[in-house]
Amino acid sequence: MFRTVMSAGDVRAMGDAGVKAELRRELLAGRAKLGPADVAAAGAVLARRALETEELAQARTVAAYVSVGREPATRALLDALRARGVRVLLPVLMADNDLDWAPYEGPDALVPAGRGLLEPAGERLGPGAVLAADAVLLPGLAVDGRGRRLGRGGGSYDRVLARLEAADAAPALIVLLYDTEVLAEVPAEAHDRPVRAAVTPSGVHRY
């Protein structure tokens, strides 16, 4: 996996953005080695771990996402939350990379979208709908011991987190990862916001 210890000279030469890009490449290469059975098995365990957390046990509304490719699988978790009577909101990617939201109404109500994504076919509720969430499940590639999350670099969730902060909303922020993606250190920039917890197949990591 990624070389979490780098010299000061390397960091200065690459800059935070360069370090993040290199880290993303290495983490995505690690995910590329996973087969469909590995992803499905990890997703089933991940769902059980997440459902046991206090944050999701008490949540009435959860903003989540539909995993794609070799991301930690979320389908089992989405269905389990919905079966509990939790209102689940899923993102809809807009042209400017910001996120709209729509309710999850089951796997049959998901439709293909751009970039290989799946999105809910229901009513669009607007970008501000996330402010009603008690918990927000975030995609990511890594997290470190200070709760700093590394995303894919598209900036969509940076906008979501900034929107929550501007509205003084404080849902539980939880990132879903594989065990190998909990690192000693993740490069961070001024706009990055820490998460409360990371859930992996082996357990819950709190910050």
16: in domain: no
- Indicate the pLDDT class of residue 16, thresholds 50, 70 and 90: low
CATH of the domain at 73: 3.40.50.10420
Give me the mean pLDDT over the 57-82 stretch.
Answer: 96
Strands 110-112 and 118-120: antiparallel
Q: Tell me how far apart the 2 most distant CA atoms of the chain are, in Å.
A: 52
Contact 47, 77 (CB under 8 A): yes
132: in domain: yes
19: in domain: no
Q: Strand pairing partners for 142?
A: 150
In this predicted model, what pLDDT tens digit does every residue of 158-181 receive, in sequence order? 999 999 999 999 999 999 999 999
**Count of the separate structural domains present in the chain:** 1
- Residue set of the binding site: 20-24, 66, 71, 149-157
Domain encompassing residue 72: 35-206
27: in domain: no
pLDDT at 73: 96
pLDDT at 153: 83
pLDDT at 15: 56
97: in domain: yes
Helices (H), the chain: 8-32, 36-51, 54-58, 75-83, 156-166
Whether the predicted pLDDT of 81 surpasses 70: yes
20: in domain: no
Give the distance from CA 12 to its chain's centroid.
28
Strands 118-120 and 172-176: unpaired
- CA pair distance 120, 92, nearest whole angstrom: 7
In this predicted model, what pLDDT tens digit does every residue of 139-160 receive, in sequence order? 999 999 999 999 988 889 999 9
14: in domain: no
- Residue set of the binding site for substrate: 66, 71
- CA pair distance 77, 146, nearest whole angstrom: 25
Contact 62, 134 (CB under 8 A): yes
26: in domain: no
- CA pair distance 37, 71, nearest whole angstrom: 13
- CA pair distance 67, 76, nearest whole angstrom: 10
- Residue set of the binding site for ATP: 20-24, 149-157
- CA pair distance 62, 100, nearest whole angstrom: 14
Residues 6+ apart with CB under 8 A from 186: 23, 142, 143, 144, 148, 149, 150
